[in-house]
């Protein structure tokens, strides 16, 4: 399988370089289980979802702890048929295809309940795209039902769902949405925006 994210971090401050460079240190504990490639537009982070999402959480939390208005933008993908399998992405985190939707929702909620908080607020919106064969709308609606019970659900918006809460449960919710809905061997993507310290909320 091929799984990963194209990630960009946008600090709204004159000292944006320092915020970005210091935040990248938060990836250090995860680097041996990820492949990371950076250019002038974004950073590609490849790896299994159970490593990828905590790494993104820690990157976001480190940037947000600066107190500056910071936005993390990411496009996440698993199972893209146009990408070769990569051994670093091997995972057992994806839902068993024989598990009924209700059981996958239950397991996803249990995973969030077991997630510790990070002490950093996260305001996020995302869209889940389930591609390929099968009833993709049943999977998406099942995910939305799970989100409403997650404890991080804020509201539905046009084309996306808004989450809010501590970064620990918020990123755990995103991970479960990515892993538990859609066929495990199919193509699933997430379009994600996470914001911290926005002056619009003051």
- Domains: count for the chain: 1
Q: What is the pLDDT of residue 202?
A: 62
Structural domain boundaries enclosing 69 = 3-201
Listing DSSP states for the chain in one string gives --EEEEEEEEE-STTHHHHHHHHHGGGGGGGGG-EEEE-SS-EEEES-HHHHHHHHHHHHHHHHTT-S-EEEEEEEEES-TTS---GGG--S-SPPTTS-HHHHHHHHHHHHHTPPP-S-EEEEEEEEEEESSS-HHHHHHHHHHHHHHSS-EEEEETTEEEEEEEHHHHHHHHHHHHHHSS-TTSEEEEEEEEEES-GGG-
pLDDT tens, residue by residue, 40-86 = 999 999 999 999 999 999 999 999 999 999 999 999 999 999 888 89
Confidence of residue 98 (pLDDT cuts 50, 70, 90): confident
Question: What's the pLDDT tens digit per position in 5-22?
Answer: 999 999 999 999 999 999
CATH classification at residue 16: 3.30.70.930
pLDDT of 168-197, one tens digit each?
999 999 999 999 999 888 899 999 999 999
pLDDT in tens, 99-158: 899 999 999 999 999 999 999 999 999 999 998 766 788 899 999 999 999 999 999 999
Nearest to 178 by CA among 89, 118, 87: 89
């Amino acid at each position: 399988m091929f799984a990963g994210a194209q990630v960009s971090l946008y600090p709204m401050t004159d000292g944006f370089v320092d915020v970005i460079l210091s935040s990248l240190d938060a990836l250090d504990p995860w680097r041996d289980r990820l492949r990371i490639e950076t250019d002038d537009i974004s950073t590609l982070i490849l790896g299994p979802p159970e490593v990828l999402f905590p790494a993104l959480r820690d990157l976001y939390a480190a940037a947000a702890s600066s107190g500056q208005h910071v936005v993390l933008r990411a496009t996440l993908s698993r199972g893209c048929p146009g990408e070769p399998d990569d051994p670093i992405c091997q995972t057992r985190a994806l839902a068993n295809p024989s598990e009924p939707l209700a059981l996958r929702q239950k397991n996803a909620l249990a995973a969030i309940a077991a997630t510790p908080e990070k002490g950093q607020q996260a305001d996020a919106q995302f869209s889940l795209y389930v591609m390929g064969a099968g009833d993709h709308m049943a999977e998406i609606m099942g995910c939305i039902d799970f989100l409403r019970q997650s404890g991080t659900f804020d509201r539905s918006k046009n084309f996306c769902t808004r989450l809010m809460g501590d970064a620990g449960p918020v990123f755990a919710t995103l991970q479960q949405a990515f892993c538990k809905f859609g066929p495990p061997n199919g193509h699933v993507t997430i379009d994600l925006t996470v914001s911290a310290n926005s002056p619009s909320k003051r």
